[in-house]
């Protein structure tokens, strides 16, 4: 009898040691978010040919690093500097791939835009429907009939990647999840996201639901124009239901990478393990997108490597003061003057430590001849460094300069005589 017990214990030990590991892999891959903790070592990336491959005149960044310079463990990746939009690294940037819960970047954007447009408020109460309750994956276990505020649901989406909360918000803003998805696709089209299509608001695997690393950086950059989002994406731990429901952030970079500000993780069986990571140091903000990693550790490792590459090798400088009038004189125009504009970045990106003083020069005629129309180029602002001209920006009309005709001239003359 004793020998049988010993043999049984040995068999159970072997089962415990071997079988759960096989299952654990599948469970991790199928779960919406992997919130496991692990140690991440520091890694600093400096491409030996960085000056040659990415720096133009005086190291003004006008080129992009690729897998020829270094690789990261994922199917697709993208790195940009937020203010300038300059692309720093790309790996299959336009490939259409499942994006998992990174979908919620667009969901959060539309919710915040609805708040800022006055259509809803953060204090509005949102009833929970049976459809929102039915969501699988990561969730906060909403029950039909429960009432939460927009603020509470947005927090659970940003921090814990709650699918049920995302759908509840979608139904509240759009009337239904289907209508909200139409809004998502319309907004994506407005932003120029040509490799993106949404069929749900939370990111669960579905046919026809995809994006690209480049497109994700576009919607992330748009979301970051609303600083209120960082009040949610930088929360490490919080609670709902009076402390009975804990929210733990799925983005472990918040505690392991200096300067992390967000933005969204994602994991499904089709998408693999993904992240859109944002971080800010010394007034420079980066957006790193990683799609299709094999594990949570590889996802965070890839994001760190991209961010390290950006922070180690580049720096921003403010655009110099522009000497330009606000209007221009019009010859033979209905109006004597019309407004003009020139769009320049607030910050410029350079290879770190290799820039000289920046200056700019405005080239603009004293007058223009009507008719001319909004958007027409009438001059330029040129940016210079120690090695000469490195960029040029158009000065355009901000309003039509209509040409005066006999009837209009007679009307103006008659009006002036009456006012004498």
- Predicted confidence (pLDDT) per residue in 341-359, tens digit: 999 988 888 888 766 788 9
Q: Of the ranges 44-53, 108-117, 159-168, which one carries the lowest mean pLDDT score?
A: 44-53
Query: What is the mean predicted confidence (pLDDT) over 309-335?
Result: 91
- C-alpha to C-alpha distance for 27 and 25, rounded to whole angstroms: 6
> What confidence score (pLDDT) does residue 357 get?
83
**Sorting pLDDT into bands at 50, 70 and 90, what band is 63?**
confident
| Domains in the chain, CATH or no CATH each | 31-315 (3.40.710.10), 327-418 (2.60.410.10)
Nearest Cα residue to 381 out of 326, 324, 328, 309: 324
What pLDDT does 387 receive?
75
**229-282: pLDDT as tens digits:** 999 999 999 999 999 999 999 999 999 999 999 999 999 999 999 999 999 998
- Supply the mean pLDDT for the chain: 86
Q: Each residue of 167-186: pLDDT tens digit?
A: 999 999 999 999 999 999 99
pLDDT band at 102 (very low <50, low <70, confident <90, very high): very high
- Residue 77 is predicted with a pLDDT of 98
pLDDT of residue 45: 57
The residues assigned a catalytic role are 101, 104, 161
Residue that is written with structure tokens 């223009």 in the block: 368
48: pLDDT strictly greater than 70? no
Q: How far apart are CA 233 and CA 270, in angstroms?
A: 25
Residue 84: per-residue pLDDT: 86
Distance between CA atoms of residues 101 and 117, nearest Å: 25
For tokens 């447009």, the residue is 117
State mean pLDDT over 197-224: 98
Does the pLDDT value for residue 160 go beyond 50?
Answer: yes
Asked if pLDDT for residue 52 goes beyond 60, the answer is: no
Contact predicate 345/86, CB 8 Å:
no
Backbone CA torsion sign across 397, 399, 405, 410: negative
Among 150-154, 177-181, 329-333, 394-398, the least confident range: 329-333
* pLDDT for 23: 23
Q: How far apart are the C-alpha atoms of 394 and 341, rounded to whole Å? A: 9
Q: Residue 285, SS3?
A: strand
Confidence of residue 49 (pLDDT cuts 50, 70, 90): low
114 vs 5, which has greater pLDDT? 114
Mean pLDDT across 297-310: 96
Residue 410 has a pLDDT of 64
Percent of the chain residues topping a pLDDT of 90 = 68
**Looking at residue 412, what is its pLDDT?**
65
pLDDT of res. 68: 87
Q: CA-CA distances (angstroms) from residue 401 to 386, 406, 416? A: 38, 16, 21
Give the pLDDT of residue 75.
98
Backbone angles phi, psi at 259, to 5 degrees: 95, 0
Instruction: Tell me what percent of the residues of the chain surpass a pLDDT of 70.
Output: 82
**Per the structure block, which two tokens stand in for 321?**
């003061």
Higher pLDDT, 5 or 190: 190
């Amino acid at each position: 009898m004793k020998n049988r017990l010993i043999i049984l214990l040995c068999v159970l030990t072997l089962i415990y040691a071997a079988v759960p590991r096989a299952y654990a892999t599948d469970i991790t891959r199928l779960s919406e978010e992997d919130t496991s903790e692990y140690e991440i070592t520091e890694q600093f990336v400096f491409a030996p040919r960085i000056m040659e491959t990415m720096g133009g005149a005086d190291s003004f960044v006008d080129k992009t690093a690729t897998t020829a310079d270094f690789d990261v463990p994922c199917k697709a990746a993208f790195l940009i500097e937020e203010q300038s939009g300059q692309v720093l690294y790309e790996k299959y940037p336009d490939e259409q791939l499942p994006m998992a819960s990174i979908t919620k970047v667009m969901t959060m954007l539309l919710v915040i835009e609805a708040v800022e447009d006055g259509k809803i408020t953060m204090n509005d109460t949102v009833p929970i429907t049976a459809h929102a309750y039915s969501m699988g994956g990561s969730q906060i276990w909403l029950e039909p009939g429960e009432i939460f505020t927009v603020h509470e649901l947005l927090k659970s989406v940003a921090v814990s990647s709650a699918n049920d909360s995302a759908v509840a918000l979608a139904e509240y803003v759009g009337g239904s999840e289907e209508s909200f998805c139409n809004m998502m696709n319309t907004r994506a089209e407005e932003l120029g996201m040509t490799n993106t299509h949404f069929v749900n608001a939370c990111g669960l695997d579905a046919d026809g639901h995809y994006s690209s690393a480049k497109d994700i950086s576009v919607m992330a950059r748009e979301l970051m124009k609303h600083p209120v989002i960082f009040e949610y994406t930088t929360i490490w731990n919080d609670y709902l239901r009076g402390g009975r429901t804990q929210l733990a952030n799925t983005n472990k970079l918040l505690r392991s990478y200096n300067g992390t500000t967000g933005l969204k993780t994602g994991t499904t069986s089709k998408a693999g393990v993904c992240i859109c990571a944002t971080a800010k140091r010394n007034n420079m903000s980066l957006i790193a997108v990683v799609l299709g990693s094999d594990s949570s550790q590889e996802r965070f490792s890839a994001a760190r490597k991209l961010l390290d590459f950006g922070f180690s090798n580049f720096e921003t400088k403010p655009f110099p003061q522009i000497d330009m009038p606000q209007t221009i004189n019009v010859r033979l125009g209905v109006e004597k003057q019309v407004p003009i504009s020139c769009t320049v970045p607030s910050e410029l990106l350079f290879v770190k430590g290799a820039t000289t003083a920046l200056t700019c020069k405005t080239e603009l005629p004293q007058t223009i001849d009507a008719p001319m129309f909004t958007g027409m180029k009438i001059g330029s602002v040129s940016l210079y460094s120690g090695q000469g001209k490195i960029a040029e920006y158009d000065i355009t009309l901000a309003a039509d300069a209509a040409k005066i005709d006999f009837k209009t001239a007679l009307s103006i003359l008659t009006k002036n005589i009456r006012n004498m």
